[in-house]
């Protein structure tokens, strides 16, 4: 009986994390369209509800009632499995994300590695989608994506190793608490290049502009999801936005001190709070949208060159520097 | 509860492992192998070896199998040709299978199954990542370093074996592209906008 209660309680906790997340995922495309609209001196969606606020609901209704077409020669099982793997990976990673000192679903000692492992499962959704569609464009998109994700995972992993050396732990809560003591103790100060590389690699990992050659509509129509329609397409879409939020969350936890306040020591505004965390996450999400409004798409060979020949050497050098600082005791943050 | 989870995962593991060697399609076989790795990682978590479990997923599922699938999807595997020499290779295959089975039996004999008390569960503060790191960089530091050097040699060897310099490739030099100045590309010409047209 007590085990049953534990299971139910865990399910409630999972819902408490995932439902607000899904709401955020629903309204992030609206924010994207609005913000990019204003950046381009347009208004953006403004017809559904006051100032277009109900647009996500209209979109969801539309997608739900559309037919899901399955190509004739497609592998039906894998074709429908692919979007599910994508959304599973995007949601499962949230199990170890802490929202404050005590507010965490699973306080595991390998939190950071777990997020890395689960988010690397996401590439399968794209590969399987590309292959099961039995379409050349989809397969090309999947190939591009697989090569890009594997390449950028290395630079991203190295950037995270820097944080692990700095905090002496893989536990996300411990990593945040290692940055206590004011804005200078945040890891974005000693590890600024790692933060920049982490976020750019993360943009590449989530296949967002300017690294969205996977979709590259001018070359391969819509890339890996060219054959998908209706809800199956919507699930890919949801997974992409959930991954964006996840990556922004990780960047704020690892480099910007998570829920810690930038004004530590001052009463009221110096208190650690989930609002600081959400503010930092929103900042990174804004960067995503800003990139999309600003940069043209990268050429494929330039993406590869940037990942292998620029980012990896920089991260290795900075990693050595951080390790030296920690070993020699020059680190000013709490080690 | 734990037993239930164990049996669920081991059933999936066995089914997927059988699928790896029985399905016709190479891509489906590779995907089944991914499922095998993932479920065995889940079993390792039950053994409180969470670091190893997550590493298994990161390395094998996240990197090795992605590249493997990459290759399998690109090449067109013709099953008819693959089946051709089945009887010819059968004796060698059986021999290898017997030798491998014998080796496995020698390593994991009956002493590995049963007869041992389960190790006590560790307190929540126990961090097996830190423990593993401490052992790896103290007691086993030399084997660890030697293994990494061997891996490095393998990487260099793989690259040098496949690297071929082709003649006559048109390649851009990014440094040159970045260093370009306006004067190199643009010439400003003063064109008079109004000009008297000579009357005929």
Nearest to A305 among B57, B69, B174 (CB): B174
DSSP state of B36: H
Higher pLDDT among residues B200 and A323, named by residue: A323
What pLDDT score was predicted for residue B113?
A: 63
Residue B115 has pLDDT above 60, yes or no: no
Q: What's the pLDDT band for A272 if we cut at 50, 70, 90?
A: confident
Report residue A24 as tokens.
């955020």
What pLDDT score was predicted for residue B168?
A: 80
Nearest CA in chain B to A302: B174
Is B66 in Cβ contact with A127 (below 8 Å)? yes
In this structure, of A112-121, A149-158, B107-116, the range with the lowest mean pLDDT score is: B107-116
pLDDT (mean) for B129-143: 86
Q: What's the pLDDT band for A141 if we cut at 50, 70, 90?
A: confident
> In chain A, what residues touch B34 (CB-CB under 8 Å)?
124
Q: What's the pLDDT band for B95 if we cut at 50, 70, 90?
A: very high
What are the distances in angstroms from CA B180 to CA B1, B97, B175, B188?
67, 63, 9, 17
In chain A, the percentage of residues whose pLDDT exceeds 70 is 99
**Phi (first) and psi of residue A134, to 5 degrees:** 55, 50
Model pLDDT for residues A216-242, shown as the tens digit of each residue = 777 777 778 878 888 888 898 888 899
Nearest to B34 among A108, A118, A124 (CB): A124
In this structure, of A158-172, A205-219, B171-185, the range with the lowest mean pLDDT score is: A205-219
What pLDDT score was predicted for residue B98?
A: 94
For residues A261 and A270, the answer to whether their CB atoms sit within 8 Å is: yes
Is A3 in Cβ contact with B1 (below 8 Å)? yes
φ/ψ bin of B71: left (φ > 0), alpha (ψ from -120 to 50), beta (otherwise) = alpha
Nearest CA in chain B to A142: B70
Cβ-based burial of B144 (10 A; exposed 0-12, middle 13-18, buried ≥19): middle
Is B34 in Cβ contact with A149 (below 8 Å)? no
What pLDDT score was predicted for residue B153?
A: 95
CA-based nearest distance A199→chain B, Å: 19
Report residue B111 as tokens.
């002493």
Higher pLDDT among residues A334 and A318, named by residue: A318
Residue A153 has pLDDT above 70, yes or no: yes
Model pLDDT for residues B3-44, shown as the tens digit of each residue = 888 888 889 999 998 988 888 777 888 888 988 998 998 888
In chain B, the percentage of residues whose pLDDT exceeds 70 is 87
Report residue B57 as tokens.
């997923």
Whether A26 and chain B come into contact, CB under 8 Å, resolves to: no
Q: What's the pLDDT band for A256 if we cut at 50, 70, 90?
A: confident
CA-based nearest distance B113→chain A, Å: 29
Nearest to B54 among A110, A123, A302 (CB): A110
CATH: 1.20.120.1200, 3.30.300.130, 3.40.50.2300, 1.10.4080.10. Which one for B1-78? Answer: 1.20.120.1200
Nearest CA in chain B to A109: B127
Residue A274 has pLDDT above 70, yes or no: yes
What is the rounded end-to-end Cα distance, in angstroms, of chain A? Answer: 43
Whether B119 and chain A come into contact, CB under 8 Å, resolves to: no
Mutate to test the interface with A, among B66, B124, B131, B169 (most CBs of A within 10 A): B66
CA-based nearest distance A45→chain B, Å: 38
What are the distances in angstroms from CA B165 to CA B153, B161, B162, B169?
21, 12, 10, 9
Model pLDDT for residues A55-98, shown as the tens digit of each residue = 888 988 888 888 888 888 777 888 888 899 889 888 888 888 88
Whether A300 and chain B come into contact, CB under 8 Å, resolves to: no
This model of the complex carries an ipTM of 0.79
What is the rounded end-to-end Cα distance, in angstroms, of chain B? Answer: 104
Is A123 in Cβ contact with B58 (below 8 Å)? no
What pLDDT score was predicted for residue B96?
A: 93
Is A123 in Cβ contact with B73 (below 8 Å)? no
Q: What's the pLDDT band for B177 if we cut at 50, 70, 90?
A: confident
**Phi (first) and psi of residue A103, to 5 degrees:** -85, 85
């Amino acid at each position: 009986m007590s085990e049953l209660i534990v299971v139910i309680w865990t399910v409630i906790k999972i819902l408490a994390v995932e439902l607000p997340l899904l709401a955020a995922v629903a309204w992030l495309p609206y924010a994207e369209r609005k913000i990019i609209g204003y950046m381009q001196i347009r208004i953006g969606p403004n017809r559904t509800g006051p100032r277009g606020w109900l647009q996500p609901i209209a979109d969801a209704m539309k997608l739900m009632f559309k037919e899901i077409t399955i190509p004739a020669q497609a592998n039906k099982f894998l074709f429908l499995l692919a979007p599910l793997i994508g959304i599973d990976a995007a949601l499962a990673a949230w199990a170890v994300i802490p929202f404050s000192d005590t507010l965490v679903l699973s306080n595991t000692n390998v939190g950071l590695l777990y997020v890395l492992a689960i988010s690397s499962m996401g590439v399968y959704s794209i590969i399987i989608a590309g292959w099961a569609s039995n379409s050349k464009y989809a397969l090309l998109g999947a190939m591009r994506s697989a090569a890009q994700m594997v390449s950028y995972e290395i630079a991203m992993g190295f950037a995270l190793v820097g944080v692990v050396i700095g905090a002496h732990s893989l536990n996300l809560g411990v990593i945040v608490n290692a940055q206590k003591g004011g804005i200078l103790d945040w890891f974005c100060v000693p590890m600024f290049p790692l933060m920049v590389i982490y976020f750019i690699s993360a943009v590449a990992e989530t296949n967002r502009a300017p690294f969205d050659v996977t979709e590259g509509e001018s070359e391969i129509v819509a890339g890996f999801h060219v054959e998908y329609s209706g809800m199956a397409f919507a699930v890919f879409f949801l997974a992409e936005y959930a991954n964006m939020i996840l990556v922004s969350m990780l960047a704020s936890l690892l480099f910007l001190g998570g829920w810690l306040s930038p004004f530590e020591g001052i009463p009221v505004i110096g208190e650690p709070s989930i609002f600081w965390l959400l503010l930092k996450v929103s900042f990174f999400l804004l960067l995503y949208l800003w990139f999309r409004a600003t940069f043209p798409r990268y050429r494929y060979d330039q993406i590869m060159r940037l990942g292998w020949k620029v980012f990896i050497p920089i991260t290795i050098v900075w990693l050595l520097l951080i390790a030296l600082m920690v070993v020699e005791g020059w680190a000013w943050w709490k080690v | 509860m734990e037993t239930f989870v164990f049996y669920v995962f081991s059933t999936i593991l066995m089914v997927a492992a059988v699928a790896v060697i029985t399905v016709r399609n190479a891509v489906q076989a590779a995907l089944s192998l991914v499922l095998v790795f993932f479920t065995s990682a889940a079993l390792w978590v039950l053994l409180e070896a969470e670091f190893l479990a997550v590493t298994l997923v990161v390395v094998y599922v996240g990197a090795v199998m992605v590249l493997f699938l990459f290759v399998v999807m690109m090449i067109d595997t013709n099953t008819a040709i693959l089946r051709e020499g089945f009887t010819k290779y059968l004796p060698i295959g059986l021999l290898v299978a017997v030798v491998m089975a014998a080796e496995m039996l020698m390593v994991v004999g009956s002493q590995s199954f049963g007869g041992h008390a389960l190790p006590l569960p560790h307190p929540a503060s126990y961090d097996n990542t830190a423990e593993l790191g401490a052992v790896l960089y103290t007691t086993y530091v030399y084997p660890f370093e030697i293994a990494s050097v061997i891996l490095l040699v393998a990487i260099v060897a793989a690259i040098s074996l496949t690297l071929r310099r082709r003649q006559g490739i048109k390649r851009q030099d990014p440094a040159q592209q970045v260093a370009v100045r306006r004067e190199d590309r643009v010439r400003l010409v003063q064109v008079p906008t109004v000009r008297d047209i000579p009357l005929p």
